[in-house]
A = this chain, B = another copy of it.
Amino acid sequence: MDWISKGFLILLVILVTYLYNLSQKVPDLPEFEDTWWGVGKEQYNEESDITPFKISLNDKDLHKQLSSYKITQSLDGTNHEYGINTNLLEDIIEHWHKDYNWTQRKKYLNKFPQFTVKVQGLKIHFIRLSPKIDPTRPPPSVLPLMLLHGWPSSVREFYDVIPLLNQHKPGVNFVFDIIVPSLPNSGFSDATRKPGLGLIEHSVLLKNFMLKLGFPKFYVHGGDWGAAIAQTIATLYPDHLFGIHSTRCLVNRYSDFKIMMFSLVPSLIIAKEKTHKLYPVLDKVKFLLSNFGYLHMQAHKPDAIGVALNDSPVGLAAYILDKFIESSDVMLKDGGLKNSYKFDALIDNLMIYWVTGKITNSMRIFAETFNKRNFDYQLDLIPTEVPTACTRFTQDIFYYPETILMDKFFKLVHINDLDVGHFPGYENPELLAQEIWKAINRIEEVLRVEEIYHVHLLKKITWLGPSDREHWLAEK
In the complex, the answer to whether B304 meets A77 with C-beta atoms within 8 Å is no
Interface residues as binary, A300-316 with B (CB distance below 8 Å gives 1, 0 otherwise): 11111111111110111
In the complex, the answer to whether A75 meets B7 with C-beta atoms within 8 Å is no
Q: In whole angstroms, what is the CA distance A296 to B292 when docked?
A: 8
In the complex, the answer to whether A304 meets B195 with C-beta atoms within 8 Å is no
Chain B hits for A289, CB < 8 A: 296, 300
The residue on B at minimum CB distance from A321 is B304
Q: In whole angstroms, what is the CA distance A11 to B303 when docked?
A: 40
User: Is residue A322 contacting chain B, with contact meaning CB distance below 8 A?
Assistant: yes
Interface residues as binary, A44-85 with B (CB distance below 8 Å gives 1, 0 otherwise): 000000000000000001000100111111111110001110
In the complex, the answer to whether B195 meets A78 with C-beta atoms within 8 Å is yes
User: Is residue A136 contacting chain B, with contact meaning CB distance below 8 A?
Assistant: no
Q: Smallest distance from the beta carbon of A194 to chain B beta carbons, Å?
A: 6
User: Is residue A116 contacting chain B, with contact meaning CB distance below 8 A?
Assistant: no
In the complex, the answer to whether B193 meets A76 with C-beta atoms within 8 Å is yes
In the complex, the answer to whether B311 meets A307 with C-beta atoms within 8 Å is no
Among candidates B195, B316, B322, residue contacting A76 with C-beta atoms closer than 8 Å = B195
Q: Smallest distance from the beta carbon of A330 to chain B beta carbons, Å?
A: 10
The residue on B at minimum CB distance from A93 is B307
In the complex, the answer to whether A310 meets B14 with C-beta atoms within 8 Å is no
Chain B hits for A89, CB < 8 A: 307
In the complex, the answer to whether A301 meets B294 with C-beta atoms within 8 Å is yes
User: Is residue A131 contacting chain B, with contact meaning CB distance below 8 A?
Assistant: no
Q: In whole angstroms, what is the CA distance A357 to B73 when docked?
A: 11
User: Is residue A364 contacting chain B, with contact meaning CB distance below 8 A?
Assistant: yes
Interface residues as binary, A81-108 with B (CB distance below 8 Å gives 1, 0 otherwise): 0111010010000000000000000000
Among candidates B17, B83, B303, B311, residue contacting A69 with C-beta atoms closer than 8 Å = B311
The residue on B at minimum CB distance from A310 is B70
The residue on B at minimum CB distance from A69 is B311
In the complex, the answer to whether A308 meets B318 with C-beta atoms within 8 Å is yes
Q: Smallest distance from the beta carbon of A317 to chain B beta carbons, Å?
A: 8
Interface size class of A (residues with CB under 8 A): 35 or more
The residue on B at minimum CB distance from A311 is B312
User: Is residue A319 contacting chain B, with contact meaning CB distance below 8 A?
Assistant: yes
The residue on B at minimum CB distance from A301 is B83
In the complex, the answer to whether B193 meets A83 with C-beta atoms within 8 Å is no
A7-B14, A76-B194, A193-B75 known; A297+B293 contact, CB < 8 A: yes
In the complex, the answer to whether B307 meets A312 with C-beta atoms within 8 Å is yes
User: Is residue A298 contacting chain B, with contact meaning CB distance below 8 A?
Assistant: yes
Residue of A17, A301, A302, A367 with most partner-chain B CB within 10 A:
A301
The residue on B at minimum CB distance from A196 is B75
The residue on B at minimum CB distance from A10 is B10
Residue of A17, A298, A319, A361 with most partner-chain B CB within 10 A:
A319
The residue on B at minimum CB distance from A192 is B75
User: Is residue A360 contacting chain B, with contact meaning CB distance below 8 A?
Assistant: yes
Q: In whole angstroms, what is the CA distance A32 to B314 when docked?
A: 38
In the complex, the answer to whether B296 meets A297 with C-beta atoms within 8 Å is yes
In the complex, the answer to whether A307 meets B303 with C-beta atoms within 8 Å is no
The residue on B at minimum CB distance from A303 is B83
User: Is residue A290 contacting chain B, with contact meaning CB distance below 8 A?
Assistant: yes
User: Is residue A299 contacting chain B, with contact meaning CB distance below 8 A?
Assistant: yes
Among candidates B11, B297, B317, B361, residue contacting A72 with C-beta atoms closer than 8 Å = B361
Chain B hits for A318, CB < 8 A: 303-308
User: Is residue A463 contacting chain B, with contact meaning CB distance below 8 A?
Assistant: no
Known interface pairs A89-B307, A297-B297; 18 further A-B residue pairs with C-beta atoms within 8 A, sorted by A's residue number: A72-B307, A72-B310, A72-B359, A72-B360, A72-B361, A75-B194, A75-B195, A77-B195, A82-B195, A82-B367, A289-B296, A293-B299, A297-B305, A304-B318, A305-B315, A307-B312, A307-B314, A312-B315
User: Nearest 3 A-B pairs (CB), nearest first?
Assistant: A308-B315, A83-B303, A83-B304
Please list the residues of chain A having a beta carbon within 8 angstroms of any beta carbon in chain B. 3, 7, 10-11, 14, 17-18, 61, 65, 68-78, 82-84, 86, 89, 191-195, 289-294, 296-312, 314-319, 322, 357-361, 364, 367
A-B contact pairs, 14 of them (CB 8 A): A71-B307, A71-B310, A71-B311, A72-B303, A75-B194, A75-B364, A76-B193, A77-B195, A82-B364, A84-B303, A293-B296, A301-B322, A305-B318, A311-B314
